[in-house]
């Protein structure tokens, strides 16, 4: 069910929500959190709501979508409430703010928050340079961005590294979960030798590739080369050098990877790119700080240092980017 409330107020929206719950028998007590989505346009808004609706089947929530209307218009709030089949296991409130209210998202959201429930703010598109200082970010225990959705993903990722505070995370990082799991599992197999070097190959503007390289640099404490390619999208390959031979995980088609290591048969592994819904579900499972993501951001600076050292010594022919 979708109910439009043009030129409304937050009090009227709350009153309508109570009326709908009483009529339908649903209660807010089953909601485990409030998810605030900051959308830039209608296409992004609908895609984000679809992902949130799917995620709500594991994390029943109140979803509040904040969209900016024309700043030249008279100040008003156009509201929309979605419940039932149009909201998954959630209740969705869409706020379109016009005029002077366009920059007052926090004031519009606060009266609609669930009492005593955690708050997560998600920017599915362009995010502020310092999410924790943004008015809607200040409300949240968890702030989700997506560097891959930015106009300049690598620059956005660098900004995330500078602005990181506990509670920040990025869907570009969440997309790496399967890659990290496979690499850790491969290192658990014999021979148990020290890694002497590594390389990560992927698109030049792939923030996930950057984060994977940063994670390896931080935890393996070895030189990590960041190699650019135009042959495929996203992450293409990871190579971990060992005295007895390298571990290689290669995914040329974005769907299936091949793991190769000495003394073991080649194995084909499902490494399909994760969609936004799956990444959002994973991120909503935790509200505590993600120390591993923070470490991967720190590792980005090691990639930059390694690149400068390599360029100065001219000992390699591989083009490396931080």
Sequence spans of domains, the chain = 2-171
**So what's the pLDDT on residue 30?**
65
DSSP state of 242: -
**So what's the pLDDT on residue 322?**
31
Give residue-wise pLDDT tens across range 52-81.
999 988 999 999 999 998 888 999 999 999
* Sequential DSSP letters for 158-206: HHHHHH--TTEEEHHHHTTHHHHHHHHHHHTSSS-----EEEEEE-TT-
pTM: 0.90
Q: What is the C-alpha separation between 143 and 161, in angstroms, rounded?
A: 14
Residue 111: Cβ within 10 Å count: 11
Q: Tokens for 138?
A: 């200040």
Q: What is the C-alpha separation between 19 and 60, in angstroms, rounded?
A: 19
Instruction: Write out the H or E segment, with its range, that includes residue 59.
Output: none
**Residue 179: band (very low, low, confident or very high) from pLDDT cuts 50, 70, 90:** very high
**Residues sharing a CB contact under 8 Å with residue 245, sequence separation 6 or more, in sequence order:** 261, 262
**So what's the pLDDT on residue 93?**
96
**Of residues 26 and 296, which shows the higher confidence score?**
296
Res 309 pLDDT > 50 = no
Q: What is the C-alpha separation between 122 and 142, in angstroms, rounded?
A: 8
Torsion of CA 107, 108, 114, 117, to 10 degrees: -50
Ranking 18-32, 33-47, 307-321 by mean pLDDT, the lowest is 307-321
Among residues 150, 139, 147, the alpha carbon closest in space to that of 40 is found at 150
Q: Tokens for 159?
A: 């900004």
Contact yes or no for 212/200 (Cβ under 8 A): yes
Res 150 pLDDT > 60 = yes
Q: Which residues pair with 96 in a beta bridge?
A: 67, 78
- Give percent of the chain above pLDDT 70: 91
Instruction: Write out the H or E segment, with its range, that includes residue 48.
Output: helix 42-55
* Sequential DSSP letters for 193-239: ----EEEEEE-TT-HHHHHHHHHHHHHH-S-EEEEE-SSSSSEEEEE
**So what's the pLDDT on residue 154?**
95
Give residue-wise pLDDT tens across range 28-57.
556 789 999 999 888 899 999 999 999 988
């Amino acid at each position: 069910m979708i109910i439009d409330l043009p030129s409304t107020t937050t009090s009227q929206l709350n009153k309508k929500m109570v009326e709908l719950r009483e009529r339908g028998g649903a209660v807010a007590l089953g909601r485990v959190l409030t998810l605030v989505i900051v959308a830039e346009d209608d296409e992004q808004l609908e895609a984000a709501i679809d992902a949130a609706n799917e995620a709500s089947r594991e994390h029943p929530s109140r979803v509040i979508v904040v969209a900016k209307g024309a700043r030249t218009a008279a100040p008003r709030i156009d509201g929309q409430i979605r419940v039932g089949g149009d909201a998954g296991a959630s209740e969705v409130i869409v706020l379109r703010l016009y005029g002077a209210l366009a920059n007052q998202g926090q004031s519009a959201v606060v009266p609609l928050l669930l009492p005593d429930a955690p708050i997560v703010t998600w920017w599915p598109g362009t995010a502020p340079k310092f999410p924790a200082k943004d008015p809607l970010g200040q409300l949240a225990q968890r702030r989700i961005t997506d560097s891959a959705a930015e106009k300049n993903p690598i620059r956005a990722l660098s900004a995330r590294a500078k602005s990181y505070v506990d509670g920040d995370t990025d869907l570009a990082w969440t997309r790496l979960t399967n890659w990290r799991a496979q690499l850790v599992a491969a290192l658990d197999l014999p021979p148990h030798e020290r890694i002497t070097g590594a390389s990560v190959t992927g698109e030049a503007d792939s923030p996930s590739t950057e984060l994977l390289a940063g994670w390896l640099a931080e935890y393996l404490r070895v030189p990590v080369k960041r190699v650019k390619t135009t042959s495929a999208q996203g992450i293409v390959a990871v190579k971990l050098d060992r005295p007895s031979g390298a571990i290689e995980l290669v995914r040329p088609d974005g769907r299936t990877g091949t793991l190769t290591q000495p003394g073991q048969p080649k194995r084909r592994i499902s490494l399909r790119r994760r969609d936004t819904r799956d990444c959002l579900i994973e991120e909503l499972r935790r509200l505590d700080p993600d120390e591993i993501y923070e470490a991967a951001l720190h590792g980005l600076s090691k990639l930059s240092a390694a690149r400068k050292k390599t360029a100065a010594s001219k000992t390699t022919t591989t083009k490396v980017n931080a």
